Amino acid sequence: MIFDRNEGKNVVALLGAGSMGTAIVRRIAAGKKILLGDISAQNLERVSNELRYSGYDVETCIVNALEKESIEAFAQKAASLGEVTAFIDTAGASPNQAQPEHILRLDMVGTGYAVDAFGQVMAKGGAGLVISSQTGYMFPIPNEIELEIMRTPTEALIDLPFIRENAVNSGRAYMIAKRVNHLQAQKAAATTWRERRARINTISPGIIVTPLAYDEFAASGDNYQKMIDASAAMRTASSDEIAEVGAFLLGEHATFITGTDLLIDGGVIASIRTGAYKLR
């Protein structure tokens, strides 16, 4: 049976077919073609089946978000399927899942390659969203270094002295990578994505209960409990809560919003900045 006779459908590309990314795609991809990219074939099969059985039109592609060529091939594949009107990047590893070098190469450099590659293929009026993290607010980077980071090409980021000297453990590497995500989106919004008349933003989620978060809870003692208890919301959140905001930022009501970050953390960063929670 042919479910959909429309041709030339717009494309929604998701890099990192995980919990938050899938929740976003479900909200914005009705009547569109979804292209899922992930390093895990098993993930791709499971998620694409779930989406197909929910009525979506899905294709998949193995992508290693650590490799520039693989990401560029993913962007080209998306463009070959139709007008790319939305790109979401959620491919990442958290501090307890990887060593500092891996985190910098995936969460920072890989994200940069993805922002660069989709900056070459986005359709006019399209929008991008990178999932950063509240941790991007936990290790302030001096302004002059941030400007240097924005002037630095993606492949050279990892060798910047500030990054080499400060990414001393996985937690710190993650904080730096996630702050750099904000800067990458700002830079792209003003340059490559602007030239295509497309927008790009980041969301910095707090503690969202996903498989990645379970890895963090398992390895962090009572840190997360204390963080939750000191926050204004006094709870974790679900991927769906992030997806609501993601859909808004990618949609028609947000066409004046680009180059910005939205912190959705239930008040964790406010509690750190006011001293109610002491970061260890």
> Whose structure tokens read 């390895």?
219
What part of residues 97-116 is at the interface with ligand NAD (CB under 6 A)? 106
Burial of 177 (0-12, 13-18, 19+ CB in 10 A): buried
Tell me: does residue 14 bind ligand NAD (CB under 6 A): no
Query: Which of 94, 201, 202, 231 touches ligand NAD (CB under 6 A)?
Result: 94
Q: Which residue lies nearer to ligand NAD by CB, 137 or 193? A: 137
Can you tell me the distance from the alpha carbon of 88 to that of 189, in angstroms, rounded to the nearest whole number? 15
CA-wise closest residue to 28 among 249, 261, 182:
249
What part of residues 34-53 is at the interface with ligand NAD (CB under 6 A)? 38-40, 43
DSSP string of 24-38, one letter each residue: HHHHH-TTSEEEEEE
> Whose structure tokens read 């590893």?
93
Beta strands 11-15; 84-89: pairing state? parallel
Shortest distance in whole angstroms from residue 125 CB to ligand NAD: 25
Active site residue ranges: 174, 178
Query: Which of 60, 133, 154, 231 touches ligand NAD (CB under 6 A)?
Result: 133
What single DSSP character describes residue 208?
B
Query: Which of 90, 154, 186, 231 touches ligand NAD (CB under 6 A)?
Result: 90
Which residues neighbour 273 within 8 Å (Cβ) at sequence distance 6 or greater?
A: none
Number of residues that bind ligand NAD (CB under 6 A): 28
Shortest distance in whole angstroms from residue 90 CB to ligand NAD: 4
What part of residues 205-234 is at the interface with ligand NAD (CB under 6 A)? 205, 207-208, 210-213
Can you tell me the distance from the alpha carbon of 91 to that of 107, in angstroms, rounded to the nearest whole number? 7
Q: Which residue lies nearer to ligand NAD by CB, 141 or 243? A: 243
Query: Which of 11, 61, 109, 131 touches ligand NAD (CB under 6 A)?
Result: 131
Tell me: does residue 17 bind ligand NAD (CB under 6 A): yes
Residues 56-85, mask of contacts with ligand NAD (x by CB under 6 A): -------xxxx-------------------
Shortest distance in whole angstroms from residue 175 CB to ligand NAD: 11
Beta strands 84-89; 57-62: pairing state? unpaired
Q: Nearest residue to ligand NAD, using CB?
A: 18
Instruction: Supply the angle between the helices 170-190 and 143-151 in degrees, to the nearest 10.
Output: 60
Residue 48 contacts residue 58 (beta carbons within 8 Å): yes
Footprint of ligand NAD on this chain (CB under 6 A)? Answer: 16-20, 38-40, 43, 63-66, 90-94, 106, 131, 133, 205, 207-208, 210-213
